Amino acid sequence: MTGSLGRGLAPYGLRCDHRAEPLGVDEPAPLLSWRLASGRRGDAPAGFQVRVHADDGARVWDTGAVADPSAVSVRYRGPALRPRTRYRWTVTVTDAAGASSREESWFETGMLSPSAWSAAWITHDPSVQDVVDAPEEGELALADHGLQPAVRLRKAFEAAAAPVAARLYVTARGVYEMRLNGARVGDAELAPGWTDYRDRVDYQVHDVTDLVRTGANMLAATVADGWWSGFVGFDERRSGAHYGTFPQLLAELHLVHADGTTDVIATGGDWQSARSPVRYADLLMGECHDLRRETPGWDLPAGDRDRAGWLPAWVAATDRSRLTATVAPPVRAVRELPARSVARIAGDRFLVDFGQNFAGRVRLTARGLTPGDRVVVRHGEALDEAGALYTANLRTADATDVLIAGEDAEAVFEPRFTYHGFRYAEVTGLGALDAADVTGVVLHSDTPWAGEFTCSDPDVDRLHQAISWGQRSNFVSVPTDCPQRDERLGWLADAQVFLPTACLNADVAAFFDGWLREVRGAQSPDGAFGNVAPRIAGVADEGAPGWGDAGVLVPWHLYRVYGDERFLERNLDAMCAWVDHVHRHNPDLVWTRRTGPHFADWLAPAPTPRDVLATAYFARSAALTARAAEILGADEAAARYGALAAHVRKTFAERFTSPDGRVAGDTQTAYLLALAFELLPGELVPGAVRRLAELVEEAGPGLTTGFLGVGLIAPVLDAHGRADLAHALLRRTDPPSWLFPLRHGATTVWERWDGYTAERGFQAAAMNSFNHYALGSVGEWLYRGVAGLDQAPGSAGYRDLLIRPRPGGLTAASARYESVRGVVSTAWTRRDGVFELRIAVPPGATAAVHIPTDDPDGVRESGIPVADAPGVSVAGTARGELRCRTGSGEYRFTAALQ
- Residue ranges of E strands in 672-724: none
Buried b / exposed e over 647-660, threshold 16 CB at 10 Å, is ebbebbbeebbeee
Whether the Cβ atoms of residue 17 and residue 27 lie closer than 8 Å to each other: yes
Helices then strands, counting H and E runs in the chain, come out as 16, 49
Please work out, in degrees rounded to the nearest 5, the angle formed at the alpha carbon of residue 718 by the alpha carbons of 715 and 721: 155
How many of the other CB atoms lie within 10 Å of CB of 97?
10
Q: What does the DSSP 8-state code read for residue 293?
A: G
Q: What is the DSSP string of 510-527?
A: HHHHHHHHHHHHT--TTS
- Ramachandran quadrant class, 794 (left: phi over 0; alpha: psi -120 to 50; beta: rest): left
Question: Pick from 119, 121, 125, 115: which is nearest to 317 by CA?
Answer: 121
- Ramachandran quadrant class, 186 (left: phi over 0; alpha: psi -120 to 50; beta: rest): left
Question: How do beta strands 438-445 and 374-380 pair?
Answer: unpaired
Question: Pick from 58, 77, 80, 3: which is nearest to 34 by CA?
Answer: 3
Please work out, in degrees rounded to the nearest 5, the angle formed at the alpha carbon of residue 150 by the alpha carbons of 148 and 156: 145
Query: Amino acid identity, residue 341?
Result: S
Buried b / exposed e over 448-485, threshold 16 CB at 10 Å, is bebbbbbbbbeebebbbbbbbbbbbbbbbbbbbbbbbb
Whether the Cβ atoms of residue 166 and residue 251 lie closer than 8 Å to each other: no
Separation in Å, CA 457 to CA 463, 690, 746, 782, 827: 10, 29, 17, 12, 15
Task: State whether residue 349 is helix, strand or coil.
Answer: strand
Query: Amino acid identity, residue 701?
Result: P
Please work out, in degrees rounded to the nearest 5, the angle formed at the alpha carbon of residue 826 by the alpha carbons of 821 and 829: 175
Q: What does the DSSP 8-state code read for residue 655?
A: H
Task: State whether residue 608 is helix, strand or coil.
Answer: coil
Q: What is the DSSP string of 830-845?
A: EETTEEEEEEEE-TT-
Give catalytic residue positions: 487, 751
Query: Amino acid identity, residue 427?
Result: V
* Residues forming a β-bridge with 165: 256
- Residue ranges of E strands in 270-410: 272-275, 278-282, 286-290, 311-312, 314-317, 323-325, 331-338, 341-346, 349-366, 374-380, 382-383, 389-390, 400-404
- Please say whether the dihedral angle defined by the alpha carbons of residues 55, 61, 65 and 66, taken in this order, is positive or negative: negative
**How far is 206 from 165, CA to CA, in rounded Å?**
11
Question: How many CA atoms does the CB half-sphere of 333 hold within 13 Å?
Answer: 18
Question: How do beta strands 451-455 and 834-841 pair?
Answer: unpaired
- Please say whether the dihedral angle defined by the alpha carbons of residues 622, 510, 68 and 891, taken in this order, is positive or negative: positive
Q: What is the DSSP string of 223-251?
A: EE-HHHHS--SSS---TTSSS-SS-EEEE
- Please say whether the dihedral angle defined by the alpha carbons of residues 703, 707, 709 and 715, taken in this order, is positive or negative: positive
Spatial CB neighbours of 445, under 8 Å, sequence gap ≥ 6: 328, 329, 330, 331, 332, 475, 476, 477, 511
**How far is 890 from 824, CA to CA, in rounded Å?**
10
- Please say whether the dihedral angle defined by the alpha carbons of residues 736, 742, 745 and 749, taken in this order, is positive or negative: positive
